[in-house]
Structure 1
Amino acid sequence: MALTVMWFTMIAALLAGTGGAAQPPAAGSGGRSWPVSGPGPRGRPEVLRIFEPPATGWGAGHRGVDLRAGPGAAVRAAAPGEVVFAGQVGGTGVLVLRIGPGLRISYEPVRATVPGGARVAAGAQVGVLDGGLAHCPGGCLHWGLLQSVPGGDVYLDPLSLLPAWIRRPGPSRLLPVYGVAAPA
């Protein structure tokens, strides 16, 4: 009987499109979250520009990810942590969240809704998107990840913070294969 219930539960999960994977953790459970909501599955926003690390510390590149979002959009903590900076840098609102030893997330352009020193859970609102960036027509959030190492900071891909089930654009679909012989 228990085996039948287990199989039924797995099949129900597959039919629901979860692929049998664990469901997203609730905000505050130590999980992860997209920093802005989008129209995709599980609130996945459109990625306008990917992380392109510079060849040198001073070279050209894109030291983060741009996510489509308009002014006034809620900005959430992608991981649990502590707000270590909330203010203006060169006239642009910036919020920095320390998420672990030597790891910091940055968000811009953001008007912070939490003060420096605040502890926040993954998924908790930390700010509001404040206007746009010149390189993002229609508005976007620039989301960065920095790691402190001896000699300075290294930029990392912030998408690496998110588990695969959040990053995937949607459930896999099995399609018929025509013209291929069935395996023996």
Structure 2
Amino acid sequence: MAPPGVGPGPDPTVPALARQWPVGTRPLVRRGYEPPAHAYGPGHRGVDLIAADGAPVRAVAAGRVSFAGRVAGRGVVSVELADTGDPPLRTTYEPVAASVSQGDEVAAGEVLGAVEPSGSHCAPCLHWGLLRGDVYLDPLSLLPPWLLDSGPSRLLPVLGVPLPEEHSGSRP
């Protein structure tokens, strides 16, 4: 399930094959995926993740770099994900100063580049997108539920087991 307020939730047609976020360990989602009503309609075709300038950007899954260059003055990296059907899934990352080149094979977690300073719509952030062919999908769908949990793990008390005694710092 997607974190509150960040889009419609996972797409059941997308395999949850990512094992990490593209930036950080659990970045804040500044703006979620908002699918357009039609191909050229308004919407938000990806998610904006809070990320500092210079932060490493990592491939969320194994694949081949299908593009690494500049589009409209911003650095963009796109990775075609391995074994994800026909047409394959493709992730996009921007603004990124790429450290990879078109055609490079990348492993999950491999650094693709660094978040570059820009006049982006969400600076400082990383815009992360997902497509199958020309159709945009929610990139959060690539993450398994355990990576989407918004809170820390919590241990619950075990019934019938006494709580440990509190110590004031002195020993009896």
With the length of structure 2 as denominator, give the TM-score of the two structures. 0.74
Residue type of the partner of 1:154? Answer: V
Task: Say whether 1:109 aligns with 2:91.
Answer: no
Corresponding residue to 2:138 among 157, 168, 171: 157
- Contact 2:18–2:144, Cα closer than 8 Å, also in 1: no
Q: Post-superposition, which runs of at least 4 consecutive aligned residues in structure 1 deviate over 4 A? A: 172-175
Question: Which residue is equivalent to 1:75?
Answer: 57
Question: Which residue is equivalent to 2:31?
Answer: 49
Give the Å deviation of 1:32. Answer: 2.1
Helix, strand or coil at the partner of 2:136: strand
Question: Which residue is equivalent to 1:33?
Answer: 20
Question: For the residues of structure 2 that align with 1:172 and 1:140, how far apart are their CA atoms?
Answer: 29
Residue type of the partner of 1:125? Answer: V
What is the 5 A alignment of 1:1-184?
Answer: 32-37=19-24, 43-99=25-81, 100-101=84-85, 102-137=88-123, 139-148=124-133, 153-169=134-150, 170-172=152-154, 174=156
Residue type of the partner of 2:129? Answer: G
Question: For the residues of structure 1 that align with 2:42 and 2:154, how far apart are their CA atoms?
Answer: 36
Question: For the residues of structure 2 that align with 1:168 and 1:118, how far apart are their CA atoms?
Answer: 32
Cα distance, 1:141–1:133 mapped onto 2, change above 3 Å: farther
Question: For the residues of structure 2 that align with 1:157 and 1:129, how far apart are their CA atoms?
Answer: 21
Question: For the residues of structure 2 that align with 1:76 and 1:63, how far apart are their CA atoms?
Answer: 19
Helix, strand or coil at the partner of 2:147: helix
Percent of aligned positions that are identical: 53
With the length of structure 1 as denominator, give the TM-score of the two structures. 0.69
Give the Å deviation of 1:104. Answer: 0.3
Larger relative helix fraction: 1
Helix, strand or coil at the partner of 2:140: helix
Question: Which residue is equivalent to 2:8?
Answer: none
Question: Structure 1, residues 83-118: CA drift from partner, whole Å, max 9, x if none?
Answer: 010001111110000003321000000011011111
**5+ unaligned residues in a row in structure 1: which ranges?**
1-29, 38-42, 176-184
Alignment RMSD, CA only? Answer: 1.7
